[in-house]
């Protein structure tokens, strides 16, 4: 029973003293810096990579967004599907663009001549079951509230 007389180092009262407000803020700041430091390094690395691209911001000063709800069919426009069965591609012909391998419908022959200056997005979609809700989502970027009718 000689171990009762020895001081225990596992229960040091200095270890349990209350943390001052300043100490708490210091610990919080150090922990926060440690958590955000990898993100900071990642952003600085990405910024350094962009120095190779002097026109990073782009040169476009305006945009024309053509949104065609119920508009022309894909065969008549930017997605003629030339290798699809006749039931899907229709009877219209395709025209070559200035982009290798990209075809437009024959109704866009003049647009095909400047296709290298365009950005065509054929993959827009939404997860809404109703067209009105999907249209709201596409125009605003927000899903409409289920409470709205």
pLDDT in tens, 65-84: 777 667 777 777 888 888 88
pLDDT higher than 60, residue 5: no
> Under 8 Å CB-to-CB from 143, ≥6 apart: which residues?
127, 128, 133, 137
Quick one: pLDDT band at residue 95, thresholds 50, 70, 90? very high
For the chain, the residue count is 149
Q: Is the pTM of this model over 0.95?
A: no
- Exposure string of 60-96, with b = 16+ CB inside 10 Å and e = fewer, is eeeeeeeeeeeeeeebbbbbbeeeeeeeebeeeebbe
Tens digits of residue pLDDT in 96-117: 999 888 899 898 999 999 999 8
Determine the Cα–Cα distance for residues 90 and 86; give it in Å rounded to an integer.
5
Quick one: pLDDT band at residue 55, thresholds 50, 70, 90? low
Calculate the CA dihedral of residues 63, 142, 43, 121 and round it to 10 degrees: -40
- Averaged pLDDT of the chain: 75
What pLDDT does residue 33 have? 66
Output the six-digit token pair for 19: 């943390």
Neighbours of 18 (CB within 10 A): 6
SS3 54: coil
């Amino acid at each position: 029973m000689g171990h009762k007389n020895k001081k225990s180092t596992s229960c040091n009262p200095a270890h349990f003293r209350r943390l001052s407000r300043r100490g708490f803020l210091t610990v919080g700041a150090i922990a926060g810096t440690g958590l955000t430091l990898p993100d900071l390094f990642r952003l600085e690395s990405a910024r350094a990579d962009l120095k190779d691209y002097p026109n990073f911001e782009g040169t476009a000063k305006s945009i024309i967004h053509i949104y065609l709800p119920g508009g022309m069919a894909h065969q008549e426009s930017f997605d003629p599907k030339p290798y699809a069965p006749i039931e899907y591609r229709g009877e219209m012909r395709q025209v070559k663009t200035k982009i290798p391998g990209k075809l437009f419908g024959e109704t866009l022959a003049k647009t095909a001549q400047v296709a290298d200056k365009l950005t065509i997005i054929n993959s827009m979609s939404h997860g809404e079951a109703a067209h009105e809700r999907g249209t709201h989502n596409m125009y605003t970027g927000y899903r409409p509230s289920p409470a709205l009718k």
